[in-house]
Chains A and B, each alone.
Chain A
Amino acid sequence: MKKYILKRLLTAFFTLLAIILILFILMQLMPGSPFNDEKLKESQKAALYAKYGLDQPIVVQFFRYVLNIFQGDFGVSYKISKNTPISQLIQTRLPVSVMVGGVAVVIGAIVGMLLGLLAALKHDTIWDTLATIISVIGVSVPSYVFALALSYTLGFQLQWFPMLFSTKDMMGSTVLPSVSLSMFTMASIARFTRSEMLEVLGSDYMLLAESKGISGGSLIFRHALRNALIPIITVLAPLIVDLMTGSLVVEKIFSIPGVGSLLVNAIQSNDYNVVISLSFIYSAMYILIMLVVDILYGVIDPRIRLAKKGE
């Protein structure tokens, strides 16, 4: 197990390094330098280069870059808000994004589980078909289509919820973006719960539990669902990818002041420094979550745990 975790940690670390290297190379490839002002004399330029360490060999620059990033120093934004440290920009925006995404995951997980449970318990009935149709639509239709539809019907026509995000009404204005982001999570968890539940319900230990006289809720929730939900960790990775991509567009639609809309703004105004820093943040978050998922799966699934012990 230790060896397994160590291996995963090493892979994650090297992936992160590779990403930083790619980002660094991209920065070098970008046209122009930070000091494009033509009024600057050569000597002034040289002084500026020396001040920011740009006169040093490229390898030294790279290591300074890595060091800075790990200390949370991403440099400053050049266009969106001039000379504001990027870490400061991110600090105010990240919590908003994480909150909207988190609510989406919670909604999606609960509704999806119930939907999957319903489909499995009422197998081969109209409920099953209905749940299947909902989950197929949820998996295939992108979140921003839901976002636009919800924003038009519930936000604009019926005016139940605000169309745009506002910090004054956090509760109300989180509903629409979170629900539209949660569709994919909900659908994939519903699919997964259904197929796993069907398998568990047909297994011998369920028969044993039933013959021992356990019935009703206890049978389904304590014995069946608990076992069915263990492998659900495997679907977490695609869910997170989808949440990240989805959040960019959904944040733009509802004008949420989150990381996603910051990235969109940065892309549209060619603020390379911000784009690259955010790319790093996204990658780091993604790698961290994948690492946690892998290790959790190793901890939970005895087959992985024992196999590694035997090595």
Chain B
Amino acid sequence: MSKKISTAYSDPAPVYVPVDADFRLKDNAGEIAIDTNFASQNFWKDVLVRFFRKGGAVFGLIMIVVITLFAIIGPGMNEYTYSGQELSQKNLAPRVPGLENLGIFDGSETMRTTTGSMKVNNYEDKGLTDTYYWFGSDNFGRDIWTRTWSGARVSLIIAVAAALIDMIIGMSYGLISGYFGGKTDMVMQRILEIANGVPRLVIVTLLLLVLKPGMLTIIFALMLTEWVGMSRIARAEMLKLKEQEFVLASRTLGAGSFFIIFREVLPNIIGPIITQVMFSIPTAIFTEAFLSFVGLGIPVPQCSLGSLISEGFNSFTTHPFQIIPPIIVMALLMLSFNLVADGLREALDPKMKEM
């Protein structure tokens, strides 16, 4: 009976033997598409994409890279040194091989006198057929190309060092003040208010009167003045984050205060902090330039962008080419850092208002 039924079932269709292909995944690449709007993506990748979408920010980044490169290799690109003087070749206008045949950068400059203006070429007058100063030479016969780039190097070192030190001090101050709250916060914020009440100008001026002018002194002065802004941001971010669950979880697991502050919260606020660092670099460049202009900057023969501008200012109506390179480099540097910082701020926080 049972045998009969089984034969009746198995009779009509042949037995299906599975093949290898049945155990492979179906090729559906053409059918599925990842919805990029909702797909989870690495946060920093997102930031990068948003950052590079902004023309200004990319321009700024490129300019910073180019200027930094020149600051590194520029001084070595010709035979002059930043302090080497050649008094017989002073105040020569820019002259670049190749370009001179086009009528620009051929070493001639227009002299203005009370009777009118005339074009002179000091290279020809002095018989210097084989001498080239790409950006001209200053009134001690020093090469402005070399000096501009070594000045940019000094300014960059000062600015970056000051910004990094500010970051460390301001960040720690703000984080600690925000995390502990209560009386600690009260005292720390009152100190900060007083420190903030003294104009930066006054602190820097007084400090440089007491200490010897130089690179370290300027970095120290900048350090004393710029940490306030950074600590404000760190504190505000800390106040936002410290009530969140991951902090509570960490505390429940027995983490100490300093572990929570620096290992749990800090990595989460690194974005705004980097932005603030980028904003404080142009401030540092400006302050250094300002100090040099006032006469409290880098001692001679070393130079920074500020001291070059200050030197060029003395003869900027007679030899304007001497002041133009450092001014342009400084303006471009400050502009670029601001653009990058702006771009970074928007990339990190897309909800932020534009501009």
A19 within 8 A of B: yes
Residue of B nearest to A137 (CB): B335
> Which of B199, B282, B313 has a CB less than 8 Å from the CB of A282?
B199
CA distance A283 to B338 in the complex (A): 28
A295 within 8 A of B: no
Closest beta carbon of chain B to A66's beta carbon, Å: 16
Q: Are A275 and B194 in contact (CB under 8 A)?
A: no
Give the secondary structure class of A's interface: helix
Per-residue interface assignment for chain A, residues 127 to 157, with 1 indicating a CB less than 8 Å from any chain B CB and 0 otherwise: 0000010011101111011001100100010
Q: Are A11 and B193 in contact (CB under 8 A)?
A: yes
CA distance A198 to B317 in the complex (A): 44
Q: Are A140 and B194 in contact (CB under 8 A)?
A: no
> Hey, which chain B residues are within 8 Å of A141, CB to CB?
331, 334-335
Q: Are A283 and B294 in contact (CB under 8 A)?
A: no
Residues in B286-340 with C-beta less than 8 Å from chain A: 286-287, 289-290, 293-296, 309, 313, 316-317, 320, 323, 327, 330-331, 334-335, 337-339
Q: Are B201 and A282 in contact (CB under 8 A)?
A: yes
Q: Are A267 and B197 in contact (CB under 8 A)?
A: no
> Which of A12, A252, A272, A276 has a CB less than 8 Å from the CB of B293?
A252
CA distance A290 to B195 in the complex (A): 13
A195 within 8 A of B: yes
Closest beta carbon of chain A to B110's beta carbon, Å: 10
Per-residue interface assignment for chain B, residues 26 to 54, with 1 indicating a CB less than 8 Å from any chain A CB and 0 otherwise: 00000000000000000000000000000
CA distance A68 to B296 in the complex (A): 29
Q: Are B295 and A267 in contact (CB under 8 A)?
A: yes
Pick out which of these stretches binds chain A: B144-152, B204-212, B230-238, B244-252.
Answer: B204-212
B102 within 8 A of A: no
Q: Are A132 and B293 in contact (CB under 8 A)?
A: no
B90 within 8 A of A: no
> Which of B202, B209, B294, B327 has a CB less than 8 Å from the CB of A272?
B209
Q: Are A283 and B199 in contact (CB under 8 A)?
A: yes
A219 within 8 A of B: no
Closest beta carbon of chain B to A185's beta carbon, Å: 16
CA distance A145 to B209 in the complex (A): 25
Residues in A199-255 with C-beta less than 8 Å from chain B: 199, 241, 244-245, 248-249, 252-253
CA distance A287 to B286 in the complex (A): 23
> Hey, which chain B residues are within 8 Å of A249, CB to CB?
290, 293-294
Closest beta carbon of chain A to B218's beta carbon, Å: 14
> Which of B190, B210, B289, B296 has a CB less than 8 Å from the CB of A267?
B296
B355 within 8 A of A: yes
Q: Are A287 and B197 in contact (CB under 8 A)?
A: yes
In the complex with contacts A142-B334, A272-B209, A198-B294 CB distance below 8 A = no
CA distance A190 to B206 in the complex (A): 34
> Hey, which chain B residues are within 8 Å of A33, CB to CB?
none
Q: Are A26 and B206 in contact (CB under 8 A)?
A: yes
Q: Are A152 and B210 in contact (CB under 8 A)?
A: no
Q: Are A136 and B335 in contact (CB under 8 A)?
A: yes
> Which of B194, B202, B327, B339 has a CB less than 8 Å from the CB of A14?
B194
Per-residue interface assignment for chain A, residues 255 to 296, with 1 indicating a CB less than 8 Å from any chain B CB and 0 otherwise: 000000001100110101001100100110011001000000
Q: Are B282 and A140 in contact (CB under 8 A)?
A: yes
CA distance A275 to B339 in the complex (A): 36
Q: Are A248 and B294 in contact (CB under 8 A)?
A: yes
Instruction: Indicate the size class of the contact surface on chain B.
Output: 35 or more
CA distance A15 to B290 in the complex (A): 25
Q: Are A145 and B199 in contact (CB under 8 A)?
A: no
CA distance A268 to B310 in the complex (A): 14
A29 within 8 A of B: yes
Q: Are B200 and A245 in contact (CB under 8 A)?
A: yes
Q: Are A267 and B353 in contact (CB under 8 A)?
A: no
Residue of B nearest to A147 (CB): B313
> Which of B198, B200, B209 has a CB less than 8 Å from the CB of A19?
B198
Closest beta carbon of chain A to B305's beta carbon, Å: 11
B354 within 8 A of A: yes
> Hey, which chain A residues are within 8 Å of B190, CB to CB?
11
Closest beta carbon of chain A to B259's beta carbon, Å: 34
Q: Are A253 and B313 in contact (CB under 8 A)?
A: yes
Residue of A137, A141, A156 ringed by the most chain B CB atoms within 10 A: A141
> Which of A11, A152, A275 has a CB less than 8 Å from the CB of B206?
A275
CA distance A279 to B209 in the complex (A): 12
In the complex with contacts A26-B206, A152-B316, A241-B194 CB distance below 8 A = no
Residue of A12, A14, A135, A145 ringed by the most chain B CB atoms within 10 A: A145
Q: Are A142 and B295 in contact (CB under 8 A)?
A: no
In the complex with contacts A132-B355, A194-B355, A139-B198 CB distance below 8 A = no
A: which residues have CB within 8 A of B? 11-12, 14-16, 18-19, 22-23, 26, 29-30, 119, 132, 135-137, 139-142, 144-145, 148-149, 152, 156, 191, 194-195, 198-199, 241, 244-245, 248-249, 252-253, 263-264, 267-268, 270, 272, 275-276, 279, 282-283, 286-287, 290
A/B interface sample: 23 pairs, CB < 8 A: A11-B190, A11-B197, A12-B197, A14-B194, A26-B206, A26-B210, A29-B210, A135-B355, A136-B339, A140-B282, A140-B338, A142-B289, A142-B334, A144-B290, A145-B327, A145-B330, A148-B309, A245-B287, A253-B313, A267-B296, A276-B206, A279-B205, A282-B202
A sample of 18 more A-B contacts (CB under 8 A), given A142-B290, A241-B200, is A15-B193, A136-B338, A139-B338, A141-B331, A141-B335, A142-B330, A144-B309, A191-B355, A195-B354, A198-B354, A244-B201, A245-B200, A248-B290, A249-B290, A267-B205, A267-B294, A275-B209, A279-B202
B: which residues have CB within 8 A of A? 56, 190, 193-194, 197-202, 205-206, 209-210, 282, 286-287, 289-290, 293-296, 309, 313, 316-317, 320, 323, 327, 330-331, 334-335, 337-339, 342, 353-355
